[in-house]
Each structure stands twice: as C-alpha cells, then as structure tokens.
Amino acid sequence: MDPITALLEKVLIEIGPHDSGEPASYIPELAESDPNLLAFGVVGPRGRVMTVGDDGAEFTIQSMSKPFVLALALHTFGREAVFARVGAEPSGEPFNAISLEAGTGRPANPMVNAGAIATTSLIPGADIDERTAAIVAMMSAFAGRSLWIDESVYASESATGDRNRALAHLLKSYGIVEGSVHDAVETYFRQCSVLVTVRDLAVMAATLAFGGRNPVTRERVVSERVARDVTSIMASCGMYDFSGEWMLRVGLPAKSGVSGGVMAVAPSQFGVAAFSPRLDAHGNSVRAQAIVAMLSDRFGMHLLEPHESIAAPGISVQESAAGPVVRLGGELGFAGAERVLSMLREIVTAAPNAAVITVDAAELARSHPAAVMVLQTEIDSMAPRVRLLQ
Ligand code: DON
C-alpha cells in the first residue's frame, strides 16, 4: 500500500466508530440511504486518485452540484452578468432560508438554495432536458467520466420540493428568475440528483484545485479565473451558517450536500471528498466533515498556512566563461522576485567587473506579470553587467 493510502486508512479507522447524526429525512428517498456507509479520497497534482472505505458507493451530489452550475454560468456569461443576479456574501443562514437582499431580491450567494436556483435559471436551453444536459456535461468534464441522474431521488425531491418552488416564485417576482419557474426549479432538482462516488467528487474538487484543468484527463474544463471565482465562493459560503467556523478550523474551500458528501479544495495541492450519510443540525455530514478536518490538519492544507515556495523560486548559480548564470525554476511570484533581486545584488557585488551576469528565467514553470516586471526593471538598471533571458 502506498504511504498516502496508508495514512487515509488510519483516518478511516479513527473516524469509523463515530455514529452521531441521522441521514436527511426531508427527501424521503435520502432517508433510505445506509447510514453506515463511509468513504473518502484525495486526488493529487498528477491525477493520482487515492480512495478508501466504501468508495464504490454512489450517492446523489445534492448541493455539491451548486459550485459546478456556478462554474457553467460564469463560463457562459462571465463574472459581472452572473453576480448581477446573485450575491457573493455569506448569508449566515441555513441552506433553505429566504436569503434575499431587501429591495432587489438578489439571493445572498450561489451556495444557498435561492442563489443556486437563480444560477440554474441562467443556464441556456430550450427546456429542462437541454439545460440538464448542459449541466451534466459540465459536471462530467469536472469528474472525467459521464455522470447521470438517479431518477427515483429526483422524483422524491420534486414531490417534496415545495419550499424550493416557493423560493423560485419569489425570485421570479423580483425578476431574478426570468422565464419558467417550473423549468428552473425542476432543472435544479435534476442537478441535485446526479449520482457520484467519492472518486468522482475528489476529481471534481481537484479540477478546481488545479485551476480548472482536470488532473486525471488533463482536459481544461474552465478557465483559471472561473475556477478561482467558484473556489472563493466555496470558501466564504460553502458550508452555509457554519462557513466561518469551518474556515477557522479546517481552512479549505468546501461544499457539503445533504446526501452526506463534503468536497474540499486545497489549491495546487489536493482535491478531497468524503461521504457518510449521517448529518448534523446544519445539514452537513458529521463524519465527512471530521475526515476533511483531519486531512487538512495532518497534510498541512489550511489555506492560510504560510508557504515557503511562493516566496522562494528555485535558484541555482553556475559559473560560465562569461560570468555567473543565475537559473530560476518553479514559480516566480512578487515576493520571490524580491528574493531573487537581493541575491542578485550580492552576486553583482562579489563578481569581477568584467563578468556578465545572466539571469535565466526561461525554465520558470509559472511567473506573475508584476514579478517579471519588477525583475526586468531592476535588471535593466544594472545593464550591461546583468542580462535577463526569458
Ligand atoms: O434543495 C434541496 O433541498 C436539496 N436538493 C439540496 C440541499 C443540500 O444538499 C443542502 N446541503 N447541505
């Protein structure tokens, strides 16, 4: 067994015995799910998927669909058009609250139901089937396989979805939902009923973690900007009225669903997903949250954990006949440029006057325009003793 899977197995053993909470009962079909199921997994930068527990179990994606429909709306219409219809503020309220802005009726954010129905209503399509197909195609690209719907959960959700219908009618009265309320809300029920496994969810989360490119299929699904926008909203609003506490303790953009799933994004590190149907009073899975919290702690994934790498690009110095060559590798950010420049000043002072110092930035994996600009400006001021290769 590889060392990461071994660590995951240890977490599984520690969390397994916890049995508080109950599966969601307001959707009758969800109340039937086996409360003892437990699975989780992570996907790393090279697309390796590591899962443990009941990782073959399928469950409906529920509210974890919301980030992907937001991604589709942003991909289709851009940031301004989408956020004209739905806010970007945590509501501090439960998922099914009437969190609408006074006066405009704009829902607080796209993660609560009102905001998600507003986002879904934006997705183009002649009817429910066309809109659903577009949404499922986007989710499938995130997951790297063709997903589809559990018709009995959909039927159960539609049969008991009057609160969501009421929210949709309110949105229509404010002009936030245009067109058919029925189509918007049934499409929302269908998106919630898409079947996934923890593997699928971990790959979907990883696609967000790696800037919109699926690390397994290597397909670019959405732009870096869209992935960043979605992840930002998950960070502030993904866990409803537990979002602030979650950020404090776990520190990962995340989204929960009433089926018992939690998926989390560790940017540039891992996509994470966990599943266990027993929920707490906020409608979040007890054991899935505990697992993500434990992984964040043990793997050092808290978003606000300080990191050395962004401030320290790879720097190696070699001698050549003309003078020293300073080779840069990895990522050059703003703080990293400062570090390169202070090293460069020392090299310039130590080198003989006749030496030409070359800064070779051609092998950088990633560079930020402001960092390159700072480097270029300073190196220009040291010419002809120093030159930059890009
Ligand atoms: O809107 C609903 O009732 C569900 N289909 C989705 C809610 C959900 O998953 C809330 N999240 N924890």
Are 318 and 185 found together in one domain? no
| Beta-sheet pairing, 357-360 with 324-329 | parallel
Supply the range of the domain harboring residue 358: 309-389
Crossing angle of helices 66-77 and 224-237, rounded to 10°? 140
Q: Mutation test of ligand 1: which of 62, 160, 167 has the most ligand atoms closer than 8 Å to its C-beta?
A: 62
Domain stop point among 265, 281, 299: 299
Are 294 and 338 found together in one domain? no
Domains identified in the chain, total number: 2
Give 121: exposed, middle or buried? Use CB within 10 Å, 0-12, 13-18, 19+: buried
What pLDDT score does 310 carry? 67
Kindly state the helix (H) or strand (E) to which residue 302 belongs, with its residue range.
none
Active site residue 174: no
Residues with CB under 6 A from ligand 1: 62-63, 95, 113, 157, 164, 192, 256-258, 283
Give 173: exposed, middle or buried? Use CB within 10 Å, 0-12, 13-18, 19+: exposed
What pLDDT score does 198 carry? 98
What pLDDT score does 334 carry? 87
Return the half-sphere exposure (C-beta side, CA atoms, 13 A cut-off) of residue 314.
12
- How confident is the model over 137-196, as pLDDT tens digits? 999 999 999 999 999 999 999 999 999 999 999 999 999 999 999 999 999 999 999 999
Q: What is the CATH number of the domain that holds 323?
A: 3.30.750.24
Q: Which of 11, 42, 49, 63 is catalytic?
A: 63
**Residue 99 falls within a domain, yes or no?**
yes
Cβ–Cβ under 8 Å, residues 204 and 147: no
Q: Cα of 2 to ligand 1 centre, how many Å?
A: 36
**What does the alpha-carbon distance between residue 273 and residue 185 come to, in Å, rounded to a whole number?**
27
DSSP per residue over 149-203, as a string?
Answer: B-HHHHHHHHHT-HHHHHHHHHHHHTTSS-S-HHHHHHHHHHHHTBEE-HHHHHH
Distances (CA, A) of 25 to 41, 59, 139, 255, 260: 26, 15, 26, 20, 12
Active site residue 381: no
Are 34 and 153 found together in one domain? yes
**Residue 249 falls within a domain, yes or no?**
yes
Are 243 and 344 found together in one domain? no
Are 142 and 230 found together in one domain? yes
Q: Cα of 112 to ligand 1 centre, how many Å?
A: 9
- Mapped onto helix, strand or coil, the DSSP state of residue 121 is helix
Are 356 and 242 found together in one domain? no
Of all protein residues, whose CA lies closest to atom 4 belonging to ligand 1?
A: 62
* Averaged pLDDT in 10-residue chunks for the chain of 390 residues: 88 94 90 94 94 97 98 98 96 87 93 97 97 98 98 96 96 95 98 98 98 98 98 96 95 97 96 97 94 94 84 86 92 88 91 90 91 91 91
**Residue 43 falls within a domain, yes or no?**
yes
Instruction: Ligand 1, residue 164: give the atom nearest the CA.
Output: 1
Rg (CA), the chain: 24
**What does the alpha-carbon distance between residue 252 and residue 236 come to, in Å, rounded to a whole number?**
10
**What does the alpha-carbon distance between residue 165 and residue 181 come to, in Å, rounded to a whole number?**
8
What pLDDT score does 354 carry? 85
Are 189 and 337 found together in one domain? no
At residue 115, φ and ψ (nearest 5 deg) are -70, -35
Q: Which of 65, 188, 198, 359 is catalytic?
A: 188
Domain stop point among 274, 299, 324: 299
Q: What is the CATH number of the domain that holds 245?
A: 3.40.710.10
* Residue 384, preceding peptide bond in cis (omega within 30° of 0): yes
- Tokens standing for residue 64: 């974890």
Instruction: Ligand 1, residue 283: give the atom nearest the CA.
Output: 12
Instruction: Ligand 1, residue 256: give the atom nearest the CA.
Output: 12
User: What is the number of residues in the chain?
Assistant: 390
Of all protein residues, whose CA lies closest to atom 1 belonging to ligand 1?
A: 113
Active site residue 188: yes
Q: Which of 258, 265, 272, 374 is catalytic?
A: 258
**Residue 317 falls within a domain, yes or no?**
yes
**Residue 45 falls within a domain, yes or no?**
yes
**What does the alpha-carbon distance between residue 274 and residue 279 come to, in Å, rounded to a whole number?**
13
Active site residue 193: no
Q: Cα of 259 to ligand 1 centre, how many Å?
A: 8
Are 331 and 287 found together in one domain? no
Are 195 and 339 found together in one domain? no
What is the 8-class DSSP label of residue 100?
B
- Tokens standing for residue 87: 């806010």
Domain stop point among 249, 278, 299: 299
**Residue 134 falls within a domain, yes or no?**
yes
Mean pLDDT of the chain: 94
Q: Cα of 77 to ligand 1 centre, how many Å?
A: 25
Cβ–Cβ under 8 Å, residues 221 and 215: no
Q: Which of 42, 43, 66, 292 is catalytic?
A: 66
- Tokens standing for residue 238: 């993904």
Q: Name the residue among 193, 194, 205 with its Cα closest to residue 51.
A: 205
Are 185 and 259 found together in one domain? yes
Strand partners, 329: 314
Query: pTM for the whole thing?
Result: 0.93
**Residue 84 falls within a domain, yes or no?**
yes
Indicate the residue type of 358: T
Are 274 and 313 found together in one domain? no
**What does the alpha-carbon distance between residue 192 and residue 149 come to, in Å, rounded to a whole number?**
9
Q: Name the residue among 264, 260, 275, 290 with its Cα closest to residue 62.
A: 260
Are 101 and 145 found together in one domain? yes
**Residue 304 falls within a domain, yes or no?**
no
Q: Cα of 24 to ligand 1 centre, how many Å?
A: 9
Q: Cα of 132 to ligand 1 centre, how many Å?
A: 17
Indicate the residue type of 244: G
